[in-house]
Structure 1
Amino acid sequence: MLKRTVAATAAFFLLNGVAHAQLSDTEQRIVAAVKQRTPAALELLEKSVRLNSGTLNPEGVRAVGEIYRAELDALGFETRWIDMPPAMKRAGHLVATHESGQGKHVLLLGHLDTVFEKGSAVPLWERQGDRVRGQGVNDMKGGDVIMIEALRALRSVGALDPAHVEIMFTGDEERTGHPLQVARGDMVAMAKRADYALSFEGNSKHEGVDTAAIARRSSGGWVLRVKGKPAHSMGVFSAQSGYGAIYEAARILNAFREQVIEPSLTFNPGLIAGGTDVSYADDTATATAFGKTNVIARDAEVRGDLRYLSPEQGERARQKMQAIVSTGNLPGTSATITFSETYPPMPPTDAGRKLLELYSKASQDAGLGRIDTNDPSLRGAGDVQFVAPHTVGIDGLGAQGRGAHTDDEDLEVASIERGTIRAALLIYRLTQTAR
């Protein structure tokens, strides 16, 4: 038994040594600096999570931003706050810059807000052994802390000096302010200057392997409005009275399901209302309807989202949906549909795959295993999509957890150290490369 134990221990150290032999002396010091700060990193995370920063709580969003701003100021970054117009009712964004003309220019993205608005019953911070439950602990304050701690590790060994890094922490990622040209204008300008964009949303596992995202689907919406002839229900289905708005809405939705489906494309009708009169309130996302069972419905309204992987796929979907709405209407009905896009699609690219390979190589060299790409249909939208048309981007460099956007959102504590090591090595390797 003793011999087997000694042999197993020797094998462990041999494999561990082989993995770390891929790291340079500077990189080994970066890893050591990350590990030394692990308890302090968790304290920084707790400090920021204990502040509610729901998107519609601008004071809380700003307070979290001030915590991160102080950390970045201490690391030698020039920081500033970008205010949004008062009518937008958003907190604004924190921007930080570390300029150098030597290496590649890297843009780092995070967000300060969460889906948990002020007054949420979800605990701010609740330690549960090797996991932490809390508001935005995974999405995405864990990733924000990983970003800051990676930069701190680089600075501690002198590797931040030649790095050209810009950072944007948005204050409205969960409920983006409008107009988008204002809400994301500064981010797009920063992307146009960058060689790479790294976003620190949470990562996930697929078949036991950690993943990152080089593609994300759009996030947009559609509104279907249907008209029928109000009349006594005894005449429904007749040529004179027609079928009514609700039947026509049902026909259209079923045709969408039968005729528009293709891989990576989804269109979800999240709300439907019908009757004699229908109204919808955008600010509360609520609909009201009046109708009687013996009256054919005059109005119907359906609101849904639309997600696609490429602009071409989105255009195909819109054309098919429009054709279904415009043709084959049931007698006595008419319909219109309008579309909107909040987050543009981020289709996979060869450049994105190469960046993922660099990230995976850094992880493997540190003995943390390979990184695979994830299925974009399993993720929502994120800020990286605004920069994707202008630079090479990757997302999912943040913490690993479960239940994002739910009352049970949590993270694995160990993923903070793991993510920080990976991010620090990737940023180091990217910024040491001459432009």
Structure 2
Amino acid sequence: MTLRLLLALSALLFALPAAAQLSAPEQRMIDTVAAEQQRTLDLLERLVEQNSGTMNHEGVREVGRIMAAEFEAIGFTTQWVEAPGTDRAGHLVARHEGSATGQRLLLIGHLDTVFEPDSPFQSFTIEGDKAIGPGVGDNKGGITVMIAALRAMQAAGTLADANIIAVLTGDEEDAGEPVAAARAVLVAAAEVSDIALDYEGLSRGDDGEDMGSIARRSSSAWTLEVRADSGHSSGVFSEARGYGAIFEAARIIDEYRRVLRLAEPELTFNVGLIAGGEEAALDTDKIRATARGKTNIIAPIALARGDLRAIDQGQIDRTIARMQAITAQSLPGTSASLSFDPVTYPPMAPTAANQALLDRLNMVNADLGLAAMAPLDPMKRGAADISFVAHLVPGINGMGALGEGSHAPGESVDIPALWRQANRAAILMTRLTAEPR
């Protein structure tokens, strides 16, 4: 199903909320979330006050230890999984074994933040209905919602038979390399699961309504290298000297823009770095460039780096083919090559199975007296860890906290939304894990 069709179908779900049809255990879960609000806020504060910037490995491990204790207190077994060779702290895996026949859930979150120890933004504060602090939404609010929902399930007796694996990665904000090694534990968990729920932040639509995220775009990078005949600038455009590398790079990049912008909805293509001249080079990480040249020399080299974000693998394949075809049509006196890095984050396509899972969540919303959630436009969100397992299991992203200012000083979450999200999650997980596989 296309994204547009899914969005159109979802619009049919927007009706007045139905009267609540909650079971006694489900009502007990709501009561538990309400009764434990201070406990939940205390946990959130403790997590935020512990710096866990991705490269602060011991800080990431300490947040892992805090979360491991929370999981173990409700009957999970936990394991710290190292990620050797990736220069990252590792990951926390928590398992709960229940009935052999129930749907097996994979819960996804992360322990790290973008705020390293040298960031001036380090403390947790509350102002009215907002909690403020580094990573308070991304993703410490999300994993706090996860635990609050699981505690509510335990109190209601619905956790006992649930089959759940939770994977909290230690490097979501800056994935270790090779990425296959950094995400091996997450993929392994998905291979023995039936459904994935990612506790990244809840998104809102333009009118302030809660949205369901069933699609995320990929993230990958490309490099363009153009070589050309050089010589005195007076000979540029001549048959003998040609057009030079910079003119050719500019032509190719603009042709990418002209063709790709119209050819593929939900695709974005960006040029983030360009250099050219008599000499030009990229550093080892390909994030810095050096160049030297003179105005009277036809540039023999030009380099460009950019990214590509697509909705599914088919779109990636078509885009690469179009870009390669454009690159191959060189101006006189020039030659160009285009290479693609391994995909950093694969796409989470908007599948019918994902939409069906959102429909299940909207049944929960109806029983809670909440409005139905339409699928979020994937153009409005970046990549996420759930994308690594989207080809294995259906899933929903955005089960976590509702926040503002992610990745910037002043990052905050809406406190009342924590309880709303915990209620949704507890009931949805209870219903899903009670279903036969």
TM-score normalised according to structure 1 size: 0.92
Q: Secondary structure at the match of 2:89?
A: coil
Call closer, same or farther: CA 1:407–1:19 in 2, change over 3 Å: same
Give, in whole Å, the separation in 1 of the partners of 2:230 and 2:60.
Answer: 49
Which residue pairs with 1:219 in the alignment?
219
Percentage of pairs with the same residue: 48
Which residue pairs with 2:86 in the alignment?
88
TM-score normalised according to structure 2 size: 0.92
Offset, 1:284: 7.8
Gap regions ≥5 residues in structure 1? 1-14
- Is 1:129 equivalent to 2:128 in the alignment? yes
Q: Which amino acid in 1 is paired with 2:92?
A: L
Give, in whole Å, the separation in 1 of the partners of 2:275 and 2:127.
Answer: 43
The ranges of structure 1 where at least 4 consecutive aligned residues each deviate by more than 4 angstroms after the TM superposition are none
Counterpart selection for 1:369 from 371, 377, 384? 371
Offset, 1:231: 2.0
Contact 1:52 1:124 in 2 (8 A): no
Contact 1:136 1:409 in 2 (8 A): yes
Call closer, same or farther: CA 1:42–1:406 in 2, change over 3 Å: same
Offset, 1:158: 1.5
Which residue pairs with 2:57 in the alignment?
58
Deviations 1:54-84 (A, max 9, x none): 2122111111111111111111100001101
Which residue pairs with 1:289 in the alignment?
291
Output aligned runs, 1:184-333, within 5 Å.
Answer: 184-206=183-205, 207-261=207-261, 262-283=264-285, 285-327=287-329, 329-333=330-334
Q: Secondary structure at the match of 2:174?
A: coil
- Is 1:338 equivalent to 2:363 in the alignment? no
Which residue pairs with 2:67 in the alignment?
68
Q: Secondary structure at the match of 1:263?
A: coil
RMSD, matched Cα: 1.6
Contact 1:368 1:418 in 2 (8 A): no
Give, in whole Å, the separation in 2 of the partners of 1:278 and 1:106.
Answer: 50
Output aligned runs, 1:105-144, within 5 Å.
Answer: 105-144=104-143
- Is 1:26 equivalent to 2:28 in the alignment? no
Give, in whole Å, the separation in 2 of the partners of 1:131 and 1:72.
Answer: 26
Call closer, same or farther: CA 1:432–1:167 in 2, change over 3 Å: same
Call closer, same or farther: CA 1:332–1:407 in 2, change over 3 Å: farther
Give, in whole Å, the separation in 1 of the partners of 2:277 and 2:129.
Answer: 52
Q: Which amino acid in 1 is paired with 2:97?
A: E
- Is 1:37 equivalent to 2:36 in the alignment? yes
Gap regions ≥5 residues in structure 2? 1-15
Deviations 1:386-433 (A, max 9, x none): 111111111110111122223342211111111111101100111111
Contact 1:102 1:163 in 2 (8 A): no
Contact 1:401 1:412 in 2 (8 A): yes
How many aligned positions are there? 417
Q: Which amino acid in 1 is paired with 2:93?
A: V
Give, in whole Å, the separation in 1 of the partners of 2:198 and 2:61.
Answer: 20
Which residue pairs with 2:95 in the alignment?
97
Q: Which amino acid in 1 is paired with 2:87?
A: K
Call closer, same or farther: CA 1:300–1:186 in 2, change over 3 Å: same
Q: Secondary structure at the match of 2:191?
A: helix
Q: Which amino acid in 1 is paired with 2:405?
A: G
Offset, 1:245: 1.3
Which residue pairs with 1:7 in the alignment?
none
Give, in whole Å, the separation in 2 of the partners of 1:121 and 1:301.
Answer: 36
Q: Which amino acid in 1 is paired with 2:127?
A: Q
